[in-house]
Amino acid sequence: MIGWLESLPLALSAGIFAAAAVVVWIAGTRLSRLADAIARRTGIGQATLGILLLGGVTSLPEIAVAGSAAFAGNGPLAVNNLLGGFTMQVAILALADVLFRRGALTMAVPDPTVLLQGTLGILLMALVVAAIAVGDTAVLGAGIWSWGIFAVFLLALRLLSMAEGNLDWKVVGEPPSEELPDIEVPDYSTQGLVLRTGAVALAIFAAGWVLSSTAETLAEQTGLGQSFFGAVFVAIATSLPEVSTVVAAMRLKRYVMAVSDILGTNLFDIALVLVVDLAFVGPAVLGEMGDFSILAGILGILVTAIYMAGLLERRDPAIAGVGFDSLAVTVVYLGGLGLLFTLR
């Protein structure tokens, strides 16, 4: 934590936190469009490199916050931001369902690759929960579990790359998804796109660092605790690029893209546990977590599993145009926040 931040009044600390969050929102929106333009201009594969590019750039706030917190010796804030962000980003799909308003959103997503993304996300989060429950031992600067989780992440990328367009089954009995409109590519050279992407990425890193520093101060000033503040408020702030991406996708009627971006980004976020572990000065970071983090991880598994059930069933009834699965995710998420508050 930066010393001078500790002396700031609560209102000013909150104002700095909010301003940094706004920068993340604006820069994240711009960065997502530039990254998409680079992918289209260079012909990068949508499965493997698509997740690395789009998932990576929208995860930059998490990288900045988790990395700076870990370097400062605050392992709980770093890890709980990743776990809380995983759950928060799935809950964003409930917002997408509200924008859809023509029955359950999952009914309009007939792509089996999305199911594979969600299943792999559940697998990775289950490994994180297991590591926290049994403890971890550091090897080569990070925990054995952290290295293993990252290895499974790489395998997941490989599976998704092989699965795209090559799965042996398809959905029948339902109308296909709507045609996806083309997104206009900015009129920049490839070098110009890369330079602009780098500049916006630096802005997100800087804003993420400010978020991390002010989050520690706010956690102490409000008495909410660093674990709860990281899993809720910091997670919401660092998820703003995903919110903007999903809202834009829904407005363009790109429903598969909206769901796939969230589930793909979550894979990338769990892989960041290794980055946090390498940056954390001390023992294996997952071995330092406790019941709070276990519950945060289980919430991520629950909300993802609910949507996986909805994607498989694809005939979810709706209330006021919002699917039952989205309503269930909202209830589980809010109820989970209440439980986390008691463990802070």
Residue 182 lies in a domain: no
pLDDT at position 139 is 92
Give helix 75-100 / helix 240-251 axis angle, nearest 10°. Answer: 20
**In this structure, what CATH number is given to the domain that contains residue 60?**
1.20.1420.30
Residue 183 lies in a domain: no
Q: Pick the more confident residue, 76 or 173.
A: 76
Task: Encode pLDDT of 176-194 as tens digits.
Answer: 444 444 555 556 777 788 7
Q: Does 199 score more than 70 pLDDT?
A: yes
Residue 312 lies in a domain: yes
Task: Encode pLDDT of 279-329 as tens digits.
Answer: 888 899 999 898 999 999 999 999 999 999 888 877 767 787 788 888 999
Task: Encode pLDDT of 19-42 as tens digits.
Answer: 888 887 787 777 767 766 776 666
Beta-carbon contacts of residue 269 (< 8 Å; ≥ 6 apart): 59, 62, 82, 85, 86, 89
Query: How many domains is the chain partitioned into structurally?
Result: 1
The answer to whether 200 touches 188, Cβ cutoff 8 Å, is no
Q: Does 48 score more than 70 pLDDT?
A: no
pLDDT at position 335 is 94
Q: Which pTM value belongs to this model? A: 0.79
Beta-carbon contacts of residue 331 (< 8 Å; ≥ 6 apart): none
- Find the domain containing 82 and state its range: 3-177+188-343
